[in-house]
Structure 1
Amino acid sequence: MSFSDPHAVARYAEGPLRQVPGFLGLQQMSHLLLAEHVPDDGQVLVLGAGGGLELKAFAEAHPQWRMLGVDPAAPMLALAEQTLGPLMAQVTLLEGYIDDAPRTVFDGATCLLTLHFLTVEQRLHTLRELRQRLRAGAPLVVAHHSVPQDAAGKHRWLQRYAAFAEASGIPRADTQRAAEAIAERLPLLSPEQEVALLQEAGFENVELFYAGFSFKGWVAHAPATPV
């Protein structure tokens, strides 16, 4: 979708539920993983926060957390503000990228359904900047498309993604277009490459916690001793 198209933005909330297997569970697992290390009054950085869906889930589950939501698309941040309503008291929204986020030391961070839009170089830079904004031992939770790099494997998993979306009520023609566009336009990495990239960025204890067809999720931690 175009994150600057007001009609697409207005329909955004429908998308993850119909396209991402176990989306609500992914949100719940994400805040539970954060809560293993984030204190009750902790500070959390949410990168790719447009729409506000995970911000709302986190705020409802942890009413004393304070969160910074960062996203480059102003219409998506406007939607996030609508989604959050009175929960905005826990959230600050920032239009921009990771480089625009203050170098505050956060207790945890997430980046959900976002990194698959970035090239390898952009991802590595983003992950390094995230690490530099986390206190020692703090968790980072990421989840996005990740598929094998061979043509047959990539096709197989993206067709499973399309099948899930179709079973959730999206017309077959639309799901096929989406799968083709993802294959052609997104710089997807294999799960092995994802782990290696997190490690190259300086994260430790990288663990897979979520797998939903073409979507995968990992939790990793900033070094216990700052780099």
Structure 2
Amino acid sequence: MSFDDPQAVASYAQGPLRLVPGFEALQRMAALLLEESVPVDGRVLVVGAGGGLELKVFADRQPGWRFAGVDPSREMLSLARSTLGVQAGRVDFHEGYVDTAPAGPYDAATCLLTLHFVEPGERLATLGQIRRRLWPGAPLVVAHHSFPQSGPDKARWLERYAAFAIGSGVPAANARKAIEAIARQLPVLPPDEDEALLRRAGFERVEQFYAGFTFRGWVGLNAGP
């Protein structure tokens, strides 16, 4: 979808529910991982905050937390404010990329369904920018497309993605177009490279906590200076 197309943005919330296996559970798991260490008055950096879906889950669960939400799409940030309603006052919104976010330091960060849009070289820099905004030992929770990229393995996992989408009510023709676009346009990495990138960026105790067909999720702790 185009994140600057008002019509596409208006229907955004239905996309993850239909395309990401266990999407609501993924959000709850992310919140639980944050709650392991973030204090009741903690500050959380949310990268790729447009739409506001995870922000709403976090804010509803933890009324004392405050957030910085970063996203390059003005339309998506507007949707996030609408999604949050009265909770929007607890979020400082920043239009742009992570380098536009305040220096923090924050007690935790998340980056959900976002990093698969970022080229590997830029992804390492993005992870580094996030890490520099965290307290030592603070967690980062990420989840995004991450699956084998060799010919037959890649095709098999994309077919599974399409089958899930069709089973969720997405027209078959649209599902086919989606996997063709993912294969051509998204700089997806295989899981072992994604995990290695987190470590290269300065995160330790990196653990996979989620897998849903083509999606994977990890949590890691800022190793500090």
Bin the TM-score by the shorter chain.
Answer: over 0.9
| 1:71 aligned onto 2:71 | yes
User: Match of 1:128?
Assistant: 128
Aligned AA for 1:53? L
User: Match of 1:162?
Assistant: 162
Following superposition, the deviation at residue 149 of structure 1 comes to 1.7
Runs of 4+ in 1 over 6 A off after TM superposition: none
Do the aligned partners of 1:63 and 1:90 also contact (CA within 8 Å) in 2?
no
User: Match of 1:153?
Assistant: 153
Partners of 1:207 and 1:180 lie apart in 2 by 30
Partners of 2:188 and 2:178 lie apart in 1 by 14
Partners of 2:149 and 2:76 lie apart in 1 by 31
| 1:209 aligned onto 2:209 | yes
Partners of 2:24 and 2:67 lie apart in 1 by 19
Following superposition, the deviation at residue 47 of structure 1 comes to 0.1
User: Match of 1:118?
Assistant: 118
The number of residue pairs the alignment matches comes to 225
Following superposition, the deviation at residue 159 of structure 1 comes to 1.0
Partners of 1:206 and 1:104 lie apart in 2 by 22
Partners of 2:131 and 2:125 lie apart in 1 by 10
Unaligned runs of 5+ in 2: none
Partners of 2:103 and 2:69 lie apart in 1 by 14
- C-alpha distance after superposition, 1:97-129 (max 9, x if no partner): 011011110000000000000101110000001
Aligned AA for 1:12? Y
CA RMSD of aligned residues (A): 0.6
3-state DSSP of counterpart to 1:75: helix
Partners of 2:161 and 2:192 lie apart in 1 by 20
Following superposition, the deviation at residue 158 of structure 1 comes to 1.1
Partners of 2:53 and 2:107 lie apart in 1 by 20
Do the aligned partners of 1:72 and 1:95 also contact (CA within 8 Å) in 2?
yes
Q: TM-score, normalised by structure 1?
A: 0.98
Partners of 2:94 and 2:27 lie apart in 1 by 21
3-state DSSP of counterpart to 1:156: helix
Aligned AA for 2:120? V
3-state DSSP of counterpart to 1:217: strand
Partners of 1:26 and 1:123 lie apart in 2 by 21
Q: TM-score, normalised by structure 2?
A: 0.99
| 1:94 aligned onto 2:94 | yes
